[in-house]
Amino acid sequence: MRNKGAIRLLAIVFALVSLYQLTFTYVTRKVEKEAQEYGVGDIKKEQAYLDSIKGEEVYNFLWLKKYTYKECKDLELNLGLDLKGGMNVTMEVSVVDIIKAMANNSKDKTFVAAIRQAKKMQANSQEDFVTLFGKAFEQIDPNAQLSSPDIFGTLEMKDKIPFGASNKEVLKVIKKETDDAIDNTYNILRSRIDRFGVAQPNIQKADVSGRIIIELPGIKDAARVRKLLQGTASLEFWETYTNDEVVPYLNAANQKLVEINSVAAEKVDTTTTKKDVKKETKEDDTALLDKIEKEGTQDSVANLQNEKEIAKKYPLYSILRPQRGSSKAVVGMSHIKDTARVNRLLAMPAVKSTLPRNMKFFWGVKPIDKGGNIFELFAIKVTSRDGKAPLDGDVVTSAREQINQNKASAEVSMSMNGEGAKIWARLTKDNVNRAIAIVLDGYVYSAPNVISEIKGGQSSISGDFTIPEAKDLANILKSGKLPAPAHIIADEVVGPSLGKESIQKGMYSFIIAFALVLIYMLFFYSKGAGLTANIALIANLFFIFGVLASLGAVLTLPGIAGIVLTIGMSVDANVLIYERIQEELKSGKGLNLAVTDGYSNAYSAIIDGNITTLLTGIILYLFGEGPIKGFATTLVIGIFSSLFAAIFITRIIIEGSLSRNKKVTFTTRFTDSWLRNAGIKFLEKRKIFYVISGIALVLSIGSLVTRGLNQGIDFTGGRTYVVAFDQDVSVEAVAKSLATVYGHTPEVKTFGGNNQVKISTKYKIEESGNEVDDEVEGLLFKGLKPYLADGTTKAMFLENNRKMSQKVGPTIADDIRQSAVWSILFALIVIFLYIMFRFANWQYGLGAVVALAHDSIIVLGVFSLFYGRLPFSLEVDQAFIAAILTVVGYSINDTVVVFDRIREYIGLHPKKDRVEVVDSALNSTLRRTFSTSLSTMVVLLAIFLFGGTSIQGFTFALLVGVIVGTYSSLFIATPIAYDTSLRVEKTVAKKKH
């Protein structure tokens, strides 16, 4: 093998990079274990501990670079909600409401009709709503103008849509404005999520325009999340106090707290006091105290010896560092873990009595330090009788980021309507050389100083912004005029106990499956070759986890299944190589030459098989959503890493052994002759298999037509709940109880043990809103109350008994269904084209695609025939589509290997009878087919038995698919390719005569 040194170096570098990436996961787990020990079961204390060290260095990589806990957390291998517990939410921004707001809720008949028609068109289209609205408007009245004063030619839009602008130009402006509004909504949601106190929240825009996907690990209070995420944004402009004005009041507040603590201390006995002081000292441990002492905020601070004394004498200043000597509105700064305590202290009635009645406090939305720990506190001045802000976001007509050429920095240009301009002029006149705070959702986004009175409503906000910061602020300012309400169209809550169970069962299945594969390779290929293959498999596993960590990918239960399946399938490359080496040895070649030729001759089949599987994985990633993408990610990574491990690492090890004159064996006495000379007449018996497959296809299609499929809510829309009880329950009795509250009988089935059920209902799925979600959960609790322990409240039920909940709206269900159909069809087309070009013969492509269609229909048929008749779920959902596409990838991999051997034998024996050549080629692949199929079956069986109820249907589909796929590659794909080739040859021969 050439470039052996370079490949060895690449393997070492690959291993070191994987190790480096995985060390962050090790460090964060270690820190979190310390937090658990500190919290002693108290989750709030654990979180407080983690918040306190978020910006502290916890990892020093080879003394070259230091990492904080937050940085390590960002780089660790993320676990999905099914493994960790938490909430997944899909939100959709109402583009319809944005368009209506831009047109000032126009009553124009054409406009209203176009909106209505575009909504109907959206149900069966993948185009964005603005494009559909434009088409509908054109269809209803081709002569109508969107730029007319009755629609978008309003006073507020005159700067963007000039008089007489074409419909195309207007739609372009609408598209940009809606995109900006979606960006703004995304930013608002992101800032709200950052305040949840959730470890590793994840928010991202979906491929579909207007959709935002949010993951919140560890969240239990789903109702609070829904309420906060769907709350209307409130943009306000407030006058502020200067810090010089506020410091005397803070001094008075601090003194009042000293008095309160002194009185409280006198009422507590000595023992309790000592205990509490010790506890308080631990909780108040903060680096801010050192800063206060260093800065010398108070003269006597420097004389104090420890933090306990500082906290005693300066209870407020020990957690809020005051600011003095500036005209800015920032009155103090606190560590993130202390902000809630500052709020509690300032809200105490006794402390509030020392402050002006018109003084309010708001925190800044972003941290001011690199570690993300320090936040600024602003003092707001209430000047109105009703306590409302003097100006709100409704008056803002436009805002955009721009570059200030003189300062060479970004700034924000803002325009207001006539009413807003008058109030803004008065507000800026009264606050020259003072700050006006721009507040959204109760958090200060910016507090620029007023230089002079601003008339006409045109303002420029500067502050050393970067371009992204200026763009974010511009979007925030535009939120008042262009409301973009976001509605939850799908959500899923997974309880931590179910997540813990998934981890345990997933790991059991993983370990068992991996161990079985290792044992099988040792048994079938002896200690020499088998041990080498096992080393490559272990390296492959290490590489997969390393790459997942480096990409920031999320590991889910389907992802674990993808890894395990990849390991099972990666055996195929080793098997192909070893079988070819054995063939070279049987032909009389020496060991060194047999190894060289064996690797060379196996490359074609390995590359073809893996490329087709890779294409399937890519299609799965592009068209799939949620867990399917996680599965596809691990599958694609696994294909590359397994190829590298099987082709290069095994060869380096084997050639290294040979160079040291060590004997390497590739079989054992038990397996040497297994299926070596089977002599099966495949083509002679092909009509028998056509009949068998025909019967299976008729049964499958018949069942699909008559019984259909048990479609999950991914495809139908609805709500699903997994509920656990203290005792076994009857699914019929539970269904009957719920029918009385929902008005229809929901689907109820056992999920895991007899004390746990899965409930699916379509009750009010067409409606949205927090009140609807609360109503459905309330009725669920009411219907299940007879089966719950006495005294169980709704809150207790949702936290303890409800292990998982999932909601999928009808719109997203349509999208998932369409993407599933397109992904399967596109996979079949791509595979047909690849095989046709690769083998320069369309008959091979036809045989492969017919076999794939055969496999898919039979798997669907099995799910149709047996749902409700087997003791586990055969629900068709997104995971099932992943299974079908995996079956397609596996089956085509098998088929390509067979085709590759047929092509090779035809080239070696061009004059031999075609039937004899094809049969010989098929028989020569039986050992490889047996080893690959058996090892994959062993892996899937382990997942099926030990992987838990949540993926039993998924693995059952794979099990059926592997069996059917192995059968079709031998008995369907090749005979069809042979028969069609024979027919073409006969047709050509007739034309010649």
pLDDT in tens, 624-671: 666 667 777 888 888 888 888 888 888 888 888 888 888 888 888 888
Q: Across residues 361-379, what is the average pLDDT?
A: 84
Q: Across residues 219-230, what is the average pLDDT?
A: 71
Q: Across residues 25-53, what is the average pLDDT?
A: 80
pLDDT band at 325 (very low <50, low <70, confident <90, very high): very low
Indicate the range of 546-555, 736-745, 810-819 predicted with least confidence: 810-819
Report how far Cα 100 is from the mean position of its chain's Cα atoms. Answer: 32
CA neighbours within 13 Å on the CB side: how many for 529?
Answer: 24
- Are 802 and 494 in contact by the 8 Å Cβ rule? The answer is no
Question: Does residue 296 surpass a pLDDT of 70?
Answer: no
pLDDT band at 198 (very low <50, low <70, confident <90, very high): low
C-alpha distances (whole Å) from 264 to each of 260, 272, 570 are 6, 12, 69
Q: Would the pTM count as exceeding 0.75? A: no
718-807 has which fold?
Alpha-Beta Plaits (3.30.70)
pLDDT at 231: 67
Domain residue ranges in the chain: 4-76, 91-229, 241-389, 390-482, 511-647+658-667+684-707+814-992, 718-807
For 95-141, the pLDDT digits (tens) are: 888 888 888 888 889 999 999 898 888 766 667 788 889 999 999 98
Question: Does residue 693 surpass a pLDDT of 90?
Answer: yes
Question: Does residue 701 surpass a pLDDT of 90?
Answer: yes
pLDDT at 282: 35
C-alpha distances (whole Å) from 163 to each of 149, 172, 288, 312 are 9, 15, 59, 68
Residue 334 has φ and ψ, to the nearest 5°, of: -140, 155
Most confident of 197-211, 312-326, 356-370: 356-370
191 exposure class (CB count in 10 Å sphere: 0-12, 13-18, 19+): middle
Question: Does residue 910 surpass a pLDDT of 90?
Answer: no
**For all residues of the chain together, what is the average pLDDT?**
79
- 241: helix, strand or coil: coil
Report the alpha-carbon distance of residue 946 to residue 151 in Å, rounded.
61
DSSP 724: E
pLDDT at 163: 79
Percent of the chain at pLDDT > 90 equals 7
DSSP 523: H
Q: How far apart are the first and last CA of the chain?
A: 52
Nearest to residue 855, comparing CAs of 807, 815, 888? 888
Question: Does residue 769 surpass a pLDDT of 70?
Answer: no
712 exposure class (CB count in 10 Å sphere: 0-12, 13-18, 19+): buried
pLDDT band at 703 (very low <50, low <70, confident <90, very high): very high
pLDDT band at 286 (very low <50, low <70, confident <90, very high): very low
Q: How many CB atoms within 10 Å of residue 285?
A: 13
Question: Does residue 710 surpass a pLDDT of 60?
Answer: yes
Report the alpha-carbon distance of residue 601 to residue 528 in Å, rounded.
21
Report the alpha-carbon distance of residue 292 to residue 297 in Å, rounded.
6
Nearest to residue 845, comparing CAs of 857, 858, 828? 828
Residue count of the chain, please give it.
993
Pick the CATH number of 390-482 from 3.40.50.1000, 3.40.50.740, 3.30.1360.200, 3.90.420.10: 3.30.1360.200
- Are 959 and 866 in contact by the 8 Å Cβ rule? The answer is no
Q: How are beta strands 718-724 and 802-808 bridged, if at all?
A: antiparallel
Q: How many CB atoms within 10 Å of residue 608?
A: 22
pLDDT band at 787 (very low <50, low <70, confident <90, very high): confident
Residue 393 has φ and ψ, to the nearest 5°, of: -70, -10
pLDDT band at 705 (very low <50, low <70, confident <90, very high): very high
For 414-434, the pLDDT digits (tens) are: 888 888 889 999 999 999 888
pLDDT at 124: 65
The residue type at 943:
I
Report how far Cα 285 is from the mean position of its chain's Cα atoms. Answer: 36
Report the alpha-carbon distance of residue 86 to residue 838 in Å, rounded.
47
Rounded to whole angstroms, the maximal C-alpha distance in the chain is 117
DSSP 333: E
In the numeric block, which tokens belong to residue 3?
Answer: 């470039």
- Are 223 and 774 in contact by the 8 Å Cβ rule? The answer is yes
Percent of the chain at pLDDT > 70 equals 85
- Are 411 and 469 in contact by the 8 Å Cβ rule? The answer is no
Q: Which residues contact 818 (CB under 8 A, 6 or more apart)?
A: 126
889 versus 82: the higher-pLDDT residue is 889
H/E stretch holding 61: strand 57-61
Q: How many CB atoms within 10 Å of residue 619?
A: 24
pLDDT band at 688 (very low <50, low <70, confident <90, very high): very high
Question: Does residue 491 surpass a pLDDT of 80?
Answer: no
In the numeric block, which tokens belong to residue 426?
Answer: 């008065």
C-alpha distances (whole Å) from 528 to each of 575, 583, 644, 665, 671 are 14, 17, 20, 5, 14
Report how far Cα 26 is from the mean position of its chain's Cα atoms. Answer: 22
Q: Which residues contact 852 (CB under 8 A, 6 or more apart)?
A: 828, 831, 888, 891, 892, 968
In the numeric block, which tokens belong to residue 882?
Answer: 């992943």
pLDDT at 304: 43
Nearest to residue 549, comparing CAs of 913, 29, 78? 78
DSSP 553: P
What is the side-by-side strand order in the sheet with 409-416?
396-404, 409-416, 458-465
pLDDT at 689: 92
Q: Across residues 490-500, what is the average pLDDT?
A: 65
Q: Across residues 800-819, what is the average pLDDT?
A: 69
Report the alpha-carbon distance of residue 844 to residue 837 in Å, rounded.
10
523 versus 872: the higher-pLDDT residue is 523
DSSP 63: T
pLDDT at 964: 92
pLDDT band at 54 (very low <50, low <70, confident <90, very high): confident
C-alpha distances (whole Å) from 150 to each of 157, 289, 432, 877 are 12, 62, 40, 46
Q: How many CB atoms within 10 Å of residue 357?
A: 9
953 versus 689: the higher-pLDDT residue is 689
Report the alpha-carbon distance of residue 314 to residue 298 in Å, rounded.
9
Report how far Cα 313 is from the mean position of its chain's Cα atoms. Answer: 48
Indicate the range of 195-204, 938-947, 967-976 predicted with least confidence: 195-204
- Residues paired with 375 in a beta bridge: 334
Indicate the range of 254-263, 529-538, 542-551, 870-879 predicted with least confidence: 870-879
- Are 232 and 97 in contact by the 8 Å Cβ rule? The answer is no
pLDDT at 817: 67
Question: Does residue 914 surpass a pLDDT of 80?
Answer: yes
Superfamily the domain 511-647+658-667+684-707+814-992 falls into: Multidrug efflux transporter AcrB transmembrane domain (1.20.1640.10)
- 409: helix, strand or coil: strand
Question: Does residue 237 surpass a pLDDT of 70?
Answer: yes
